[in-house]
Structures are given as C-alpha cells and as structure tokens.
Structure 1
Amino acid sequence: MDFRDTEQQAELRQSIRAFCATHCDSESEAAREQSEQYPADLHRALAAAGLLGLGLPRDYGGGGLDLLAQCIAFEELSRHSGAAANILFINGVCGALVAAGGSPAQREALLGPLCAGELRFAFALTESEAGSDLAGLSLTAQPRGEDYVLSGSKLYTTGAADAHFLLTAARSDAKAGPRQGISLFLVPADSAGLEITALPKLAGNEIASCRVAYRDVQVSSDARLGEANGAWSWLMLGGALERLSVAASCLGLSRAILDAVLAHAAEREQFGQPIGRFQAVQHRIADMSVRIEAMQWLVYAAAQAADLGAAAQRQICSAKLFAAENAQQIAQDGMRLLGGRAYFSDNPMQRRLREALLALYAGGTMEIQRNLIARSLGL
C-alpha cells in the first residue's frame, strides 16, 4: 500500500496546520482547558474553515471527503488541539448518522446548520449499566399518540451541556430482541424534563461530559431518526466512526509528543552534551517512532478498507486498540524524557498524557476491541 498523501490530502493537511497555527497554539489550548467553558470561538472557527462537515454530503455544505481524508483531519487537529478534534468528533459522528438514517426533511433542517456551526450535537448513548453492552440500554421511549415519552438516564454524554440536540438511543420496544427494539431520537436540549449535569473529568473539561436525566421527556415522532426499532445498524456505524476517529486522534497526539521530545532532546544539555546523544534517550525515542509508524499503517489501512466497502470491523478495532494503548505508552515516555518539568501544569506534556488516557475508553474499551477482533476470527 502507498500512503503518501495525494495532492488533495496534502492540501487538507496544510490547511489544518495553518488553521491550528492561528487558533490552537499551546497557550490558547491551556487557557481553554482552564476556563472550563465551551470553546464557542473554536467551534465557529472550525465551521468558517469548512472543517465541521468534512465527511458530510456536499449538498448540505459538507466536504464529502472519504474516511482516510477524515482520519488525516483528526490526526492533524489532535496534533495541536484536543478540543478541536473533540468538536469535530462529536458533531461528525452525529452528522454522519443523520446523513445515513435521517429523513430528507431531517437532513435538510440539520446538516446545513451543523456544517455552518449554527447547531451543535451530542451523542447520548452510554448508560450506567450499558456502556460496553449497548444491547443493554434501559432508557425507554414509550409511544403516546403521535409522540414518544423518554424516561431514564444517560452517562458521559460529551457536549450535552452546550448542544442544541441530543441524539439519543432508547429502547422503544421492550418485547423485541435486545438489538431489535432500539430507536434513535433527536431530542432538543431545551426539552421539558431534560436535566443535564456536567461531570468533572481528568482532561477536556472545556467540553463537558454529562449525566443526562430524561424525566418523561416528550418528543414528536418526527424526532425519530429512521425506522422505529431499527437503530442497531446506525449504532454500529456510529461505533465504527468513533473508533476510527479515536485511533486517528491518537496518531496525531503521538506525533505531537514525538515533536516535543525531539526538540527537547536537541536543546537540553546534561554532562556537557545534548541528552539526545545518550543511547538510552535515543532508544526510547526510536521506540516511540516505531510505534507511530505502525499506528499510521493500521489507521490508514483501516480507513482505506472501509472506503473501499470492505467489512473492516477487525481492521478498525485493531487500529483503535493499537493506537490507544501505544499513545498512552508514548505519552508516558514523553513525560519521562522531559523530566520533572513535564509534571507541572504549564507544560503541555502533562495535558497530552491526560488526553491519551481517554482513548482507552472512548469508542469502546480495550477489552471490547479484543472481543470483537476475536469474534471476527471465528472464536
């Protein structure tokens, strides 16, 4: 396989680097995190640059790009800004599900404003007893005339506190099989009975992850995405997009760590010479480089396989598993190579370590990735 950038991919990469140079310098990223306020300015800037809808249809203002190009976008954004990548990630997954499963009216009403930065979304999926086991969803959607009444709660819904719509997975038929009785609903965030509570976390508090309580929240049948009880395939699509996005983000984060380590190894002197001349330092950096090269091949190959229409679940899970575990190791190595200075809050390395830890859970745990890989091998 040849993963050298095409002309279009190279232009995309350069445009995102230029965007990040303007909007995502290290000081701005630290200030955003410390503020714990939603980065609306960054959201608007992403929209103005045409980055919010990269994978969405051009008819609605999107870029119409394939998954490999989207992975390059996540890679470059994550190299500079976890917040920017997170905004693209949340709205990109929700937008893709609306584009794939929504009615013409829903696509017309929602996708253009999403790409323009006028509407924000959150994906309300995880529950306290239904994280890895999505078929165990317990939030219910009971028909009431032409409407549905949603009751239950969601957990760790990132972006909910600042979203206009919560794309919510609910059990709409208790008598159907665990995978057959689930529907998706576009729930307005200002709906009566909806209670959203931000949950403090280790990193990324500028985009709050929330507990969401649905206390008899009434929505119209027009808010349902796709057929009643037919959302399982859309949840699988969303899961695949999440895993691939997380894997690509790990690649960008790891490249940022390597960049910082190489600069430090060249500048920092001990015992009369740059520390990059010590074999122990060289070997650790060499291992980081090897991990990143392997990560790139797994991520790009998975995206390319999916773009070609192959059944790419094993490749996507493999990419997510390898990228998440190795990004954590690379971040730990970065902390060690920078020494004590990396431990202090004014150094970006400690933020990168905290961001790397999220990849162990976002898009599914490492154990779930291994389960899915084993299942695809017939075990």
Structure 2
Amino acid sequence: MIGGKILLVSVPSINVPVRVFAPGGTEPELSNFTLEFTLDPDAASVRSMRSAYCAEERCFLPSGRPAELVFEFDNPTGSFDQGLVFYRLGSQSFGMTNCSGNACMSSALVACTEGSEVQLAITGRGGIPSQEDSGYPMIGASETLMCDAQAPRITSVSVLDDLESLNVVRENAPAQVRVVVQERNPGATVEVVLEESEEVFIGACAPEGDGQVCVAEVSFGEGPKTEKLTVRVKDVVGHAVEREVSVLVLEYRETDVAPEFFRVDVHADRMKPQSISRPMLAFTNEAGLAYPVYIPFELVALRSGAFPLRVQMRSCTYERDGERVGGGFFSDVRVADPTPRPGEENRIDLAVKGMSGFLL
C-alpha cells in the first residue's frame, strides 16, 4: 500500500514513479524519482537452527554462560536483514542480534541441568510474529538441545613411547599422551602444551568404558631433561580442565658393551610348584595344555639412581640330570612385570609342556 493505495501486481517487479511537491500539492515540483519494487512471493521456512556446539549430529548448550546460536532459513526471494525474528530458548524469549541474507546469529544465556533437554523454537514477540523483511510471517519450527553443565574430570594422564615406561621417554622418539576423562558428551578434545618449547599438540577423545580416552601424539626433542607439560581437555561446549605432568626425557646412546647397572637374584628355591607329578604332566599333555610354573626374582641396583625401563626374557635353559639342556621344554617364558623396580619382587612365568616321565 502506497499513499493509501493498494497495488495489485502480477509481475516479478515494478517501477513506481514518485513526484514530490511542497505541502498543499502545488507547483513547483520539488523532486521526482523512481522506486523499484521486487515482489517476494515465498514465505520463509527454517532450514536449520542449532547451537555452535555440535558433535555426532547432536547439538549442546552450556549452562550459565552465553551460548552462540545459528539460524538458517530457506527463502529464495527474501531476506532477514532487519532481524525481525524471535525465538524461545527454554522458558526465555530472545531476538536476533545479527542477520545477513538468509542467516541469523544470536547469543543467549540460560541455566540448565546436566543432561536435560532444552527446547529452541521460533516464536513472536508482543503480538508481532517472526517475519522476513517483506513481512511474510515465518513458518514455526523447533529443535532440541542437550544441556552440558559440567566440565570434564581427568582421571589419569600417562605418557608412553615404545619403551612402555610410564612418563619416561627417549629423546626424539614419538610418544603418546593418553588422558582418561569422565565426560558423557561427544566432541571433547585434548591439548598438550610443552613448557620449554611452548609447542602445542592437539588430539581427539573417544568413548571407552564409562568415560572417554583422549590421545595426542607428542615429540619431546633432545634429552636428557625433565619436561613439564600441561594437559588441557575441553568438552564440546568449551568447559576446560587442566593437569600438569612431568616427563623424564632420556638421552639415547647405542653401545656394543652393556654397562653393569643391575644384578639379578633368582630365588629358585621358592619356585612354585616345587614339583610336577607324572600324572599331571600326562593329563596336561593329552589336553594340549601347558602347566604354569613361576620363579621369583629381584633386581639389585649396582649404581645409585639406576632403574630399569623394561625387562624382557631373551632365552631360558634348564638342567636335567645335572646337564644344561635347551629351552624347548617351555612353551612360554616371560617376565610377569616387564617394568620392575629394583628391590621389588618380580617373577619369571614359565609354561611347561607336558613331557611324561619328567619331574621338576
């Protein structure tokens, strides 16, 4: 309607000439120009509305701090630059703060309970419906957001390389920072910051058991040194938790002469069991089983401060009738704890093949 006149048009656009006169409508003419109007025949609909915190096709909402919301509309001929779109989040109503073309963004703060569902819906305000710039009312829509009100909780942090010794790594070797966290929602990430170099390594988190495990690949550079690092886990909405860890980075040298750092005391007199009966060996042999035997041993440090990173069994022999025989009698020989500490009792686990007529 222009000047009290209703224009009925059937073409996509029209040009309307405008002449401006002084009050009273008398000459002379003050100005004249032409206005171009493009018709908008389509009502707008919501293509999507979500928070800025989405993972695995689910969007989340933080509690007690501003949440960024994104709205996208389908409207081939219209726009939303005037921002006449209103929405309800939970029990509160809000208006758009930034619209351009067929998209709007807004920020809203609500309080919610961990794990609860919060409704996001297009509404009106003060009797005015949400509408596009041409005045077409919006087609209503709603979406459900999941409340994330709690920060993750770190259960443990371990740093390992191929030595498999907790928080002890070789220089210039690839290592892995593994963080176990209590967090129910997907989308969490881990960030590892090295204090010395200020390098940052990013990793992802994945469900495991009742929580999640976050993994980042890290390199600590030259040793020997003690490297301090900060492990920071962020959940999908940005809650963060940190823990500091110290890692011993060892200098690595190759040598043809093995230094004598330890003595191994094997307590053969405490082997269990002390003997295996012939019927038992015959039974395990027929069943295709190996009979378990273990022998306690201790590592004795010969140099102050020396400790082993890993102990492996390379070979094993046994004596029969006073003669040393090869290790074919054992189907499996291993150290129970491959990362022992000096002075702590460990054991050699033996799996004995059934050989009838043999008595330990």
TM-score by length of 2: 0.20
Please say which structure displays the higher CA radius of gyration. 2
Compute the TM-score of the two structures, normalised by the length of structure 1. 0.19
**Larger relative CO (CA 8 A, sep 6+): 1 or 2?**
1
Identify the structure with the greater strand proportion: 2
